[in-house]
Amino acid sequence: MKLPFMTLAAGAFLAVSCANAATATDNYTVTLPLSEDEDGLTAYIIDFDTSAKLDSTVVDGGKAIFKGTVTTPVFARVILDGNRAGQFVLEEGDIALNPANRMATGSPTNDALVNLMSEQQKHVAEYRQLGDTPEDKAKKKEIQQSNNDLFENALKANAGNPLGYYLFLQQCYGYDLPTFDAKLKEYPQFADSKRVQTLRQGLINKEETSVGHKFKDFEITYDGKTSRLSDYVGRGKYTLVDFWASWCGPCIRETRVIKELYEEYGPKGLDVLGVAVWDEPANTLRAIEQHELPWPQILNGQNIPTDLYGIAGIPCIILFDPEGNIISRDKQDDELRADVAAAMSKASVK
């Protein structure tokens, strides 16, 4: 089953690459269904790599409709009222963004991406049905390998178009620096990408802010107030710092764990700090109130903390000792509970 499927998938992706290469000037329409409550808001198409604004439109009749021309297909993102509202390949075609999952159809590369994600979801569904028997564990490894092959074949077939660029990034987000450099050597055409360069620097920064290293300070100015990490970290107490955003589901779910830790260890000397990144301050403030987060927050961090600490995904939770040394990073749930418990047991002995 796996080999015939992969042959068909790779063939489809190769056809997309050829179609894009043959196009000189493309005409596009991009439609994003919304609601009439959002009428009057301005929506933007931005370059996913550089964040440059490529097009804009005002929501009318519950829809954002973009029309224009593009000379070279580009991976793009729609921003509505400061929030992400979908990502797609901006290319020739009548492109429609699904209001539920915000994925795009109606053009060759976008259809290929939807098909790719559909096949991945089949793998995920099959994986989740399996248990922990030796046979099921072996089947899980087979599914994982099939999924890896699926994306690797798609990347190879699309190495010359925006879908390949996007898949390259998705693969590299979980790599360490040596693995990333090896992958970039295999696909040198992506080396000039701003996001690829930022990702590589982020991996360097992540190594420099891993367990055992001293904290790196940063400062954020918002609403006339400047806050620094050093206002909270390295001041004689264990400090748990949560890098999060209001739109991030896993971030919000993890606040339950952080609340439990704060309630248990706060009276024993544990401080907690939230650092809002990649988010609009108004949305952050609403989330703080809605989810009743009692600890102090640094607002409007955007990319400053995440670039400095090499954070590619959130939530990212870092535990600092009283001197500001990193003693836990990128842990969640029971692993985070265990690290905090171990640290606070040392604190109680002193």
What local confidence, expressed as pLDDT, does residue 1 receive? 29
Tens-binned pLDDT, residue by residue, of the chain (350 aa): 222 222 223 333 333 433 343 344 559 999 999 999 999 999 999 999 999 999 999 999 999 999 999 989 999 999 998 888 999 999 999 999 998 888 999 999 999 999 999 999 999 999 999 999 999 999 999 999 999 999 999 999 999 999 999 999 998 988 889 999 999 999 999 999 999 998 899 999 999 999 999 999 999 999 999 999 999 999 999 999 999 999 999 999 999 999 999 999 999 999 999 999 999 999 999 999 999 999 999 999 999 999 999 998 999 999 999 999 999 999 999 999 999 999 999 876 55
Please check whether residue 107 is in contact with residue 93, taking contact to mean a CB–CB distance below 8 angstroms.
Answer: yes
* Whole-number percent of the chain with pLDDT over 90: 85
Strands 26-33, 93-97: parallel, antiparallel or unpaired by DSSP? parallel
Classify 81 as helix, strand or coil.
coil
Let me know whether 126 and 273 are in one domain.
no
Q: Does residue 235 fall inside a structural domain?
A: yes
On whether the CB atoms of residues 347 and 238 are closer than 8 A, the answer is yes
Secondary structure (3-state) at 79: strand
Whole-angstrom distance, CA of residue 315 vs CA of residue 211: 17
Residue 91 located in a structural domain: yes
Q: How many domains does the chain have?
A: 2
- 211 located within any domain: no
Short-list 73, 66, 74, CA closest to 24 = 73
Cβ atoms of 166 and 199 within 8 Å: the answer is: no
Cα 95 to chain centroid distance, Å, stands at 23
- Specify if 332 maps to a domain: yes
Determine which helix (DSSP H) or strand (DSSP E) holds 209, and give its type and residue range. Answer: none
Distance, in Å, from the CA atom of 263 to the CA atom of 293, rounded to the nearest integer, reads 12
Q: Which pLDDT score, from 0 to 100, does residue 8 have?
A: 28
Task: Indicate whether 117 and 257 sit together in one domain.
Answer: no
pLDDT recorded at residue 91: 95
Q: Do 319 and 240 meet the contact criterion of CB atoms below 8 Å apart? A: yes
Please check whether residues 159 and 268 belong to one and the same domain.
Answer: no
The secondary structure element, H or E, covering residue 290 is helix 281-290
Based on the domain organization, do 35 and 166 belong to the same domain?
yes
Q: What is the pLDDT of residue 338?
A: 98
Please state whether 272 falls in left (phi above 0), alpha (psi between -120 and 50) or beta.
beta
Write down which residue in 153, 172, 191 finishes a domain.
Answer: 172
Residues 128 and 262 in one domain: no
* 105, 240: one domain: no
**Is residue 39 located within the same domain as residue 167?**
yes
Taking only the tens place, the pLDDT of each residue in 4-40 is 222 223 333 333 433 343 344 559 999 999 999 999 9
pTM, two decimals, is 0.70
Tell me, yes or no, whether 132 lies in a domain. Answer: yes
SS3 218: coil
Residue 65 domain flag: yes
Domain boundary among 172, 199, 232: 172
Task: Report yes or no on 187 lying in a domain.
Answer: no
* pLDDT tens digits, 248-285: 999 999 999 999 999 999 999 999 999 999 999 999 99
226 and 335: one domain?
yes
Q: CA torsion, points 81, 87, 88, 90, in degrees to nearest 10?
A: 40
> Does residue 191 lie within any of the structural domains?
no
- The CATH number for 267's domain is 3.40.30.10
159 shares its domain with 286: no
Residue 18 belongs to domain spanning = 1-172
According to the model, what pLDDT value does residue 346 have?
A: 82
Examine the fold and report which residue of 172, 194, 210 is the final residue of a domain before the chain moves on.
Answer: 172
Statement to judge: residues 164 and 238 lie in one domain = no
Shortest CA distance to 13 belongs to which of 130, 101, 105, 116? 116
CA distances from 111 to 57, 88, 210 (A): 24, 10, 40
**142 and 231 housed in the same domain:** no
